[in-house]
Amino acid sequence: MKDYGKIDYYNMEFKLINEDKFNLVSNLLKDAAVWLRSKNINYWQNWHNPTENHKNWILNGLKNNQFYLIYDNNTQIGMFRLQYNDETFWGKKNDKAGYIHSFTINRKMSGKGLGYKVLNEIEIFLKQNGYNYLRLDCGIKIKGLCEYYKNYGFNEAGSVTIHGEKLLLLEKNL
């Protein structure tokens, strides 16, 4: 996925970012972890003080052109990582799918439907490029977030445990 360009109804843009944005990506993940902690949700807490493994996960995504910042009217409102295979979480698959990680929307923008708008645009892009599925994972204990994705149309596709965290695998047929 290249720079996505403007999305009509919100003047959104998805901008591909590179390695020089490591601190920005790390800070966005930390901000999400701070917000989750404020809600007594024990998820993404590793981003408060990421290990070398977590830092390398970010760097690898940046090197492979997988991280995008989301802008609305030139204001940064979020971020996501889009991969085209994900053996770590999903195992080896032979179908064409896009995998989302690190999806964040600025909490000041919550309640405006932006998360669904971003997912919809990613979905349209994948369909146009011959992909059959949109996939993601979600902490199985985070019931509200799991329901958020299910309400959008994702279906349960199993679970996996990564670094001691049980994750629900969700996919949407495109």
In this prediction the pTM is 0.88
Q: What is the pLDDT of residues 109-159, one digit of tens each?
A: 777 788 899 999 999 999 999 999 999 999 998 898 999 999 999 999 999
- Burial class of residue 14 in the structure, from the number of CB atoms within 10 Å of its CB (0-12 exposed, 13-18 middle, 19+ buried): buried
| pLDDT score recorded for residue 106 | 84
Residues 6 or more apart whose Cβ sits within 8 Å of residue 137 = 89, 101, 160, 167, 168, 169, 170
Q: Please state, in angstroms and rounded to a whole number, the distance separating the CA atoms of residues 39 and 45.
A: 12
Longest CA span, the chain: 41
Q: Please state, in angstroms and rounded to a whole number, the distance separating the CA atoms of residues 149 and 31.
A: 21
Q: Please state, in angstroms and rounded to a whole number, the distance separating the CA atoms of residues 158 and 106.
A: 29
Q: Please state, in angstroms and rounded to a whole number, the distance separating the CA atoms of residues 82 and 68.
A: 8
Q: What is the pLDDT of residues 107-122, one digit of tens each?
A: 777 777 888 999 999 9
Structural domains of the chain, with CATH: 5-132 (3.40.630.30)
Q: Tell me the HSE value of 15 on the side-chain side, using a 13 A CA sphere.
A: 17
More confident residue, 7 or 39: 39
